[in-house]
Structure formats: structure tokens, C-alpha cells
Structure 1
Amino acid sequence: MKSVTVALAVAAVAMPLTAAAKTKIRVQSVISAKADEVTMLRDYADNVKALTNGEVEIEILPAGAIVGVKETLDAVDKGLVEGGFAWTHYWSGKHPATMLFGSPAAGAGLGIDNIAWVSWYMFGGGKELYNELWDEMGVNVKGIMLQPVGPEALGWFKEPINSMDDFRKYRFRAPPGIPGQAYNDIGVAAVAMGGGDILPALEKGTIDAAEWCCPKPDSVFGFQKILKNYYLQGLHQVVVNADMYINKDVWNSISPENQRAMEVAADASLMRAMAYRIYENGKALKDLTENHGVVLHDTPKDYFPEYMNAVSNIFDKHKKENPFFLKVWTSMRDFADVAVPFWAGAQTTNANLGNAYVESKK
């Protein structure tokens, strides 16, 4: 009996260990490989590789590598590519509720800023609703929220604007969907176009004012070469969230332990992306104002009530027409009723503290 036990033990040692199955996920982005969002997507990919001991590897492909930008989500759904990377609201043509996850204009009309949105997403029921979204849209996709940004700048103008009447004189590049529609509703000639088309359009005079994001991405696009008047405070994208999409069959093929590692890395990415953006935008704004002749202005006060009212009217329409939109918005409202009074008061302290420091440097 002893000899049999020894033989079995020797055989077990001699047998090669079975290597864990490896998963390679190609993720096609909708933007340039040089963009900050892709820098942080690589950061996420590195963390996933480390946490899964190399069993899950994410390869990032540039926009258009396999399919056109507008076909990215459909390609993931059909399995033409394992993953995609964009902003949830890019798919608002498939479902209006995507706007509440990717770009809830004017804080969803509820006073929710980018940090409060993450609180709702992680602890107020948002993640569960985000997971429901893909089934609601009828796509074979697992979504992973990665990068909150905001608030985005109002934008760039040839001349200072002192009122909404001044604003309405411009042909203005604005985001598609609800943000751009709200501008049109208040009489701003809003034109939707891709990021790479904005500077050429400004150079040709097709548009004469524009927004894209924030100081760092805006400066990379080179808006400061043409426009010098910059306004930081805007409501159209107080919250903007980039996310990754994985074909559901691919996701289900990943072990539960590695799925959990990817979700933990995603939660970490929410904070890492936000922290990265604060410093990068700060450096860029300093460079723009000190070295490129950019003048920083405060947004006209009459902009805020006009834009907020326009967004509220659009939301009311979608709440009446789409039950899932209403379900998500109601969850956000219930969260806002509890969290926003506290957070708004706390943020006032933070803003006053920061402004006091800025004034002391003058």
C-alpha cells in the first residue's frame, strides 16, 4: 500500500501543471491613442494584468482599427472585436437613458456633480441600473465604468461674452444628444461634430466657438491657436463618464476570480482617473493663460437658469416616454434628495477655500 501511495505521489509531481486559460481582450477606442482617456485606459489594463497574474490581457486599439467609431458598440455586441471604449452617451441613439450614465446634462437637473455621481453609482443603486442598461438596449455587452470627468468647460470664443445674447451670436460646437439639444432650445446654434473635426471647422469658419472638454484635452487639440477667450463654468457636461464594453460571451468565459479583479481595478480607476485629470488640467490651464495669451472668464450668470430650464424640459419629455429613463432618473433624484444638500454645502467650503488661495496669489 505504501508503494502505491509513493507511486501516486511521484506521478503527481511528474505531471505538468495545467496552465490557467488566458483571455486577450482587444479594445477599440473611439479616440486617438494619444488622448488622456487612453492613457488612463492603459493604466487600467496594466492593473488588470497584474491582478489576474497575466491571465487577462487588454490590448488597446486606436479609433477605426477594426470598425468605424459609430459602429464600435455594435461590433462588440456581434463579437467582431472583444471590447470597445467610449462614453456611454455615445449610444443615446439606441436608448436615451445612456445620457444619464455618460453625460447627465446639468447634473441630471438634480445638482449632481462628477464626484456625487460616482457616489450614486457605487452606493446609490447606479451600478445595478448600469448593468440593466445593456439588456434594456438589447446588446450582448458587459459594461465597465472607468473614468469620470467634469465639470467640462463652457468653451472657447473669439470675443468675450457678457450675456446669453452675446452667446447666441455664435455657431457653437456642442456635444450631440441632450446637451446639444438644450443649447438649440435656448437659441444657440449648436453644431455636433467629432473632436478631430473641430479645429479644421474653426479654421474654415464653419463654426466660430467650440467646446470639447477641459484645459488639457482642449490644448492638445490646439483651440488656443485660434480662440483666446475661455470659460470654465458650463452645465452641458457637469458629469462625463468614459466606459469600456466587453462582449458578454467573452466576459462569461473569464473566471469569477478574474472578473472580480477587473471590477476592483475598475473601481480603482474611478478615483485614479479623477485624480489624474485634476493635476493635468491644472498644468494645462496654467500653461494656456501664462504662455498662450488665453484669457479666463466667468460664465455669464443668465446662462445657468436658461440652460437648466431647457434640460429639465427635455428630461420631462423622456421621463414620460421611456420607463427605464424614468427609473434611472428617479433613482438619481432619491439619491440627490439625501446627498446633494450635504455635498453642495461641503463643496461651497472647498470652493471658497480654493478661491481664497487664488486671490492670495494675485
Structure 2
Amino acid sequence: MFEFRSLTKYAAAVALGATAFASTAAAEVTIRVQSVIPAKADEVFMLEDFAADVKALTNGEVIIEVLPAGAVVGVRETLDAVDSGLIEGGFAWTHYWSGKHPAAMLFGSPVAGAGVGIDNIAFVSWFQYGGGKELYDQLWEEMGVNVKGFMLQPVGPEALGWFKEPIASMEDFRKYRFRTPPGIPGQTYKDIGVASVAMGGGDILPALEKGTIDAAEWCCPKPDSVFGFQKVLKHYYLQGLHQVVVNADLYINGDVYDSLTPMQQKAMEVAANASLSKSMSYRIYENGKALKDLVENHGVILHDTPADYFSEYMAAAKASLEKNAEENEFFAKVWQSQKDFAEIAVPFWAGAQTSNANLGRAFADTLKN
């Protein structure tokens, strides 16, 4: 009996040691994620929040290490570096890779709400329940890259942007060299005669300071203020169509993702779904605080966007969407999915949001008195 108990204790000790060793080994999974923007940006703050959730959900087994833009490769090489395994992960906006496939825009920045009135909240609905996620997973196959993508940070609508002088019409707008996002949203500006210049986030403020560009858009009040646009430009226009919704995404090398356990993969999925909600919640409050600060403490003048912008940009966006759908089968498939979703969801959502917008504007007007 004594020998049996001793053997049992020994077996238990061995099993405990093996479990501890396995846990220790699992804890060494580190995924380096290079961002395309500076470390101080709000998007990076939210990415680090996502990383903290992944670490907690995996009991410290998966560590996501966020690297700043340019740490290993240039911004434009980010996705290729993830594909090749040079870095384990990348963080950017999927429309940055429209040169690899035009449908990337429909996931990263569906121009003018995909032409069917999809805002950031409706976009998440399409992604999670309207077939978007399955098409998103297919996108990487269409691009021919070894990548697993996660949507993390929907935001919108983005501001039209910052200008040196007030613009009363599209005629005024066309006088400026204007930073835009890459891909179809930026091309649509060119189609209506705006001197569109595509560049990464980290290059915008230096370009404004040097006079390479005269006006710019980036995102919304908080990210814009973090970048420091108010130091150079003072005229700010909130309403824009180029990115009614835009998403910052995480890319993981496919082999690295496949090496994770099913539990670790599920943890990343759960953390990503949480990020979709948390990023929108964070943005509303932070943008509100930032806009108040910009106007009250930095001399920023808030303007309404000229009416002719909306008609010109919307018509050009629709033409661009139709052209790309004619030329690319997968683009057409994704856009049709968004249109089918919008046919069902947008009449309800737009009607409901009209009440919310009118109520909010009525309250905001009382603050001006």
C-alpha cells in the first residue's frame, strides 16, 4: 500500500510538472505587430487594449507586442512582411492594400457608405451577421497572401478635413493639394477635380509643414488633434463622404495563426469582437472631448461642408463602384452582398438614426446659447 501511494504521488508530480512545462512553453508565443502609424495614435492605444484582452483570455499564453511604424519594414511593405513571415503581424487599414485587390476598399473603407448608406454600426452588422466575415476571409485568398485578418476598429463618418482658408464650394476645394486615403476614396476625389495626394498617416503633418500639400484629412477630432493638424490649419469640416465608415485591422501571418491552439484562436476572435464595440464607444467620447478642446482652446473654426460636395462626390463614387464591379468578379460579389444587406437594414437604421440625429442636434444647439 505504501509503495502504491508513493507511486501515485510520483505520477501526480510528473503530471503537474509536465502541465507546468507546457504552460511555460505556451507562454512564449509572441506576435510582433507592426503598425503603420506612430505609437501615440489612438488606434495604437486601442490595439494595445486588444492585446491586453488576448493576453488575459489566454492566461498569458499569447503576447502581442506592438511595434511602431517603420520598426522593421516601411509602411507600404507591412502586408508583404506579414505574408512572408518577416513580422508575425501588421496593423493598418485594409484599403491600403487596394493595389493588390480593389475589393480591399469595400472592407477597409467602402467609399460613400458603399453607395448605399452603410455607416460604421451598420457595417459591423453586415460583417458579423450579413455574410461580410466570410467574404473578408476570402479576400486574403483573392490577394494571394498568407494572412489571417481581424477587423478591430470601425469608425466614422470621418471628417472632410482641414483647410488653410474656408471653402464655400467645390471651386474653392479644387484650389488645394489635398491628402486623401489611398485607393478608390482618394481616386474619387481626383475624379471630381481635386488634387488628391495619397500618403501614410505619419507623413501628413510634415507634408503640411513643408507645403507639399495644402489641406488634409485623417480621421476625426481626437486622432486629428493627436497628429497636431491644429498647429498648421484652423478651418475644420466635419461632414465627409469619402470614409463614412473605415476600419483599422490586424493581420497575422497564416502559419503563425495556424500554430495557435483552438482556444488561443478563439480568444483572438472574442477579443476582436469586443474591440469592434469598444472602439466605437471610445471614439464617441474621445472625439467629443477633442472637438470641444479644438474649438475652445486652439482657435479651430468649425464649418459645414459645402452642399455641392455631396452631390459631386456621391455621383463619382457610384461610378467608381460600378466600374470596379464590372472589372472584378470578387469586387462585384462583395458589393452585391453589401447592397443586399442595405436593402434590408438601411431603411430601418436610417429612419431610426434620423430621430437620434435630430434629438442630438437640438441638444447641441442649446449649448451655443
TM-score range, shorter chain: over 0.9
Please name the residue that 1:256 is paired with: 262
Return the match for 2:189 from 183, 190, 193.
183
Q: Deviations over 1:123-182 (max 9, x none)?
A: 101011111111111111110111111111001112221211121122211111111111
Q: TM-score, normalised by structure 2?
A: 0.95
CA contact under 8 A between 2:34 and 2:68: conserved in structure 1? yes
Gaps of 5+ in 1: none
In structure 2, what is the Cα distance between the partners aligned to 1:88 and 1:330?
19
In structure 2, what is the Cα distance between the partners aligned to 1:300 and 1:240?
22
Gaps of 5+ in 2: none
**Does the residue aligned with 1:66 lie in a helix, a strand or coil?**
coil
* Higher deviation after alignment, 8-17 or 330-339: 8-17
Q: What is the identity, as a one-letter code, of the residue corresponding to 2:44? A: V
Q: What is the identity, as a one-letter code, of the residue corresponding to 2:159? A: A
Please name the residue that 2:155 is paired with: 149
Q: Deviations over 1:37-64 (max 9, x none)?
A: 1100110000100010011111111111
Alignment pair present for 1:211 and 2:217: yes
Please name the residue that 1:14 is paired with: 13
In structure 2, what is the Cα distance between the partners aligned to 1:247 and 1:196?
24
Please name the residue that 1:266 is paired with: 272
Return the match for 1:281 from 287, 301, 323.
287
Give the aligned CA root-mean-square deviation in angstroms: 1.3
Alignment pair present for 1:334 and 2:340: yes
Q: What is the identity, as a one-letter code, of the residue corresponding to 2:307? A: K
Q: Percent identity?
A: 75
Return the match for 1:72 from 70, 78, 84.
78
Q: Deviations over 1:87-141 (max 9, x none)?
A: 1111111001100000111001110011100010011010111111111111111
With over 3 angstroms needed to count, the CA separation of the structure-2 counterparts of 1:81 and 1:197, relative to structure 1, is closer
With over 3 angstroms needed to count, the CA separation of the structure-2 counterparts of 1:4 and 1:134, relative to structure 1, is farther
Q: TM-score, normalised by structure 1?
A: 0.97
Please name the residue that 1:245 is paired with: 251
Following TM superposition, by how much is the alpha carbon of 1:8 offset from its aligned partner in structure 2, in angstroms? 4.3
In structure 2, what is the Cα distance between the partners aligned to 1:327 and 1:345?
27
With over 3 angstroms needed to count, the CA separation of the structure-2 counterparts of 1:353 and 1:266, relative to structure 1, is same
Please name the residue that 1:39 is paired with: 45
Please name the residue that 1:117 is paired with: 123
In structure 2, what is the Cα distance between the partners aligned to 1:64 and 1:202?
21
Q: Deviations over 1:172-209 (max 9, x none)?
A: 11111111111111111111122232223223332221
Please name the residue that 2:230 is paired with: 224
**Does the residue aligned with 2:99 lie in a helix, a strand or coil?**
coil
Following TM superposition, by how much is the alpha carbon of 1:4 offset from its aligned partner in structure 2, in angstroms? 7.2
Please name the residue that 2:179 is paired with: 173
In structure 2, what is the Cα distance between the partners aligned to 1:128 and 1:5?
55
Alignment pair present for 1:132 and 2:131: no
In structure 1, what is the Cα distance between the partners aligned to 2:36 and 2:198?
16
In structure 1, what is the Cα distance between the partners aligned to 2:265 and 2:221?
35
Return the match for 1:105 from 103, 108, 111.
111
In structure 1, what is the Cα distance between the partners aligned to 2:4 and 2:147?
49
Alignment pair present for 1:313 and 2:319: yes
Please name the residue that 2:307 is paired with: 301
Q: What is the identity, as a one-letter code, of the residue corresponding to 1:334? A: D
Following TM superposition, by how much is the alpha carbon of 1:6 offset from its aligned partner in structure 2, in angstroms? 3.4
Corresponding residue pairs, total = 361
Q: Deviations over 1:246-301 (max 9, x none)?
A: 11111111110111111001000001111111111111100110011111111111
In structure 1, what is the Cα distance between the partners aligned to 2:109 and 2:60?
33
**Does the residue aligned with 2:307 lie in a helix, a strand or coil?**
coil
**Does the residue aligned with 1:191 lie in a helix, a strand or coil?**
strand
